[in-house]
């Protein structure tokens, strides 16, 4: 016979497993980072991420004037210059490695930075989702043990 504590524990454990599984699958499927930032006058907006070969990157910057430093691995896109009004960058990674983007507002109005950056997920994110799923399994296990035999002190 299942007690109320056991049923509650199984429900909570199943919920934790479902949430952990959802976010694990979501992190495996989507590796795109949507960028929609506003940069104040004199402030920088910095992006640093790892990307694999053939990942598609897109970045648009709109404002009165700004400086863009963009470095990609190998012989890929390398930019270090000032721009006015608007600039769009659309590139594919030529090699695996770290991408660095620094957009500094040098004008007299806020900048708008938009785009889509594809990045490799950090392995620690994957591990944290597995820990959440394991916690749900432990909760279900302890709850099931309460229905078999009530431990001392409970």
pLDDT digits (tens, 9 = 90+) for 55-94: 888 888 888 888 888 888 877 778 888 888 888 888 888 8
Angle of the 4-29 helix axis to the 123-148 helix axis, nearest 10: 160
Query: Taking Cα atoms as reference points, which of 88, 76, 68, 78 lies closest to residue 51?
Result: 76
Q: What percent of the chain has pLDDT over 90?
A: 9
Say if residue 128 is in the same domain as residue 113: no
pLDDT for the residue numbered 151: 61
Are residues 18 and 58 located together in one domain of the fold?
no
**Is 132 found in the same domain as 115?**
no
Please check whether residues 98 and 112 belong to one and the same domain.
yes
pLDDT of residue 19: 92
Domain that holds residue 153: 1-31+121-154
The pLDDT tens digits of the residues spanning 8-41 come to 888 999 999 999 999 888 877 767 778 888 888 8
Q: 45 and 106 share a domain?
A: yes
pTM for the complete prediction? 0.61
Are 89 and 65 within one domain?
yes
- Tell me how long the chain is: 154
């Amino acid at each position: 016979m299942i007690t109320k504590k056991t049923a509650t524990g199984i429900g909570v454990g199943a919920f934790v497993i479902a949430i952990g599984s959802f976010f694990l699958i979501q992190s495996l499927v989507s590796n795109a980072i949507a960028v929609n930032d506003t940069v104040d006058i004199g402030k920088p907006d910095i992006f640093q991420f790892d990307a694999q070969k053939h990942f598609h990157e897109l970045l648009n910057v709109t404002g009165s004037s700004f400086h863009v430093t963009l470095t990609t691995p190998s012989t890929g896109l390398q930019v270090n210059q000032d721009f006015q009004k608007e600039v769009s960058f659309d590139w594919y990674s030529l090699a695996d490695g770290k991408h660095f983007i620094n957009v500094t507002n040098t004008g007299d109005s806020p900048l708008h930075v938009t785009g889509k950056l594809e990045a490799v997920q950090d392995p620690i994110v994957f591990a944290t989702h597995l820990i959440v799923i394991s916690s749900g399994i432990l909760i279900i296990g302890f709850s099931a043990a309460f229905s078999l035999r009530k431990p001392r002190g409970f």
